[in-house]
Amino acid sequence: IGDRILAAVGSGTAVLSLCGSAFIVLCYLLFKELRKFSFKLVFFLALSDMFCSFFSIIGDPSDGFFCYAQDYSAHFFCVASFLWTTTIAFTLHRTVVKHKTDVEDFGSLFNLYVWGTSLAMTVMRSIGSDSGTWCWTGTKHTGKVAHFITFYAPLWGAILYNGFTYYQVNRMLSNATRMAVGMSDRSYQFDAGADKKALSRWGYYPLILIGSWAFATINRVHNFFYPGHKIFWLSFADVCFAGLMGLFNSIAYGLNSSVRRAIAERFEMYPERFRRWVPSKPKGQQEHELASL
C-alpha cells in the first residue's frame, strides 16, 4: 500500500509540474515578444522540467527495458533542469555585477554545457546501476554511489553556485542603493530600488532546488546507510517535493511580468466581461523583473 501511495503522489505532482512547464513552453512559442535571450533560457529550463516530469510519469517497473529507459531519460532532463538554472544565474551575474553585454554570445556554450553534462552524468549513472527510479530493490553500493555522484553532486553544486551568485547580485544592488541615498539622487534611487525589488525575489530561487531536493537527499543518504529501514514520511516528502520542482520553476522563473503582460495583451482582444478578470500593471513596472537581463 505504501508503494502505491508513493507512486500515486509522484505521478500527481509530476502532472502538476508537467502542466506548469508546458504552459511556459507554450507561452514562449506563441508570444514572439518573449523570444529574448533571457526568456530563452527560461524556455529551456521549462522544456527540461516538462520532459523530466513526463518521463517520471511513464514507465513500467515490471519491464526491465522501459524501467531503465524511463529512469535514464528522467535523470537526463532533471539534471538538465537545475543546470539551466546555473546559466540564468551566470547571465544575471555577468550582466548586473560585471556590466557585460555579451551574454548572448554564450548561447551555444550554454547548450553544450547543459546537454553535454547531462549526457555525461546519465552515461556515468549506468555504471554499476541495478535499479530504476521506481525499482529501488537494488542493493549494490556501486549503483548508489554512482547516483550520488551523477545527480546529487551536480545538484548541490548548482545550489551553492546559484546561492553565491544571487548573493553577489543583491549585495551589489544594495551598495548601489546606499550610494544613491548618500548622493540624494532620487531618480537613481527609484531605478535601483525597483531593480532590487525585482531581483531580491530571484535570491530565493536557490531555495527552490533546496526545497525540492532536500528531503530526497536525506532519504537517499538514509537508504544508503540503512537500506532495509525505509521511513515512509521521508519517502513521501521526497516524492512529493521532488515532483513539484517543475511547477516551482515555472511559477518563479516563468510567470514574470513579461509573461503576464503578453497574456494580458491577448486578453484585450476579448470582450470586456473577460478582460476584467485579468489584472493590469502600470507600464513603468512591466519590465523590471527582466530589465537587468
Q: Quote the CA–CA distance of 129 and 121 in Å, as a whole number.
A: 13
Question: What pLDDT score was predicted for residue 162?
Answer: 92
Q: What is the largest CA-CA distance in the chain?
A: 69
* 8 A C-beta contact, residue 215 and residue 95: no
Walk along the chain (293 residues) in steps of 10 and give the mean pLDDT of each run.
83 94 92 87 94 83 68 91 94 88 92 96 74 47 83 94 88 75 56 54 75 93 85 91 92 80 74 56 44 42
Question: What pLDDT score was predicted for residue 265?
Answer: 78
Residue with cell 543546470: 83
Q: Quote the CA–CA distance of 214 and 241 in Å, as a whole number.
A: 9
- Pick the closest to residue 25 from 201, 253, 203, 213 (CA basis): 253
The sign of the torsion formed by the CA atoms of 160, 225, 69, 125 equals: positive
* 8 A C-beta contact, residue 223 and residue 137: no
Question: What pLDDT score was predicted for residue 190?
Answer: 47
- The CA-atom distances, in angstroms, between 24 and each of 42, 80, 112 are 8, 17, 23
Q: Quote the CA–CA distance of 258 and 260 in Å, as a whole number.
A: 6
Residue with cell 554499476: 128
Question: What pLDDT score was predicted for residue 2?
Answer: 76
Domains of the chain: 1-171+200-269 (1.20.1070.10)
pTM here is 0.82
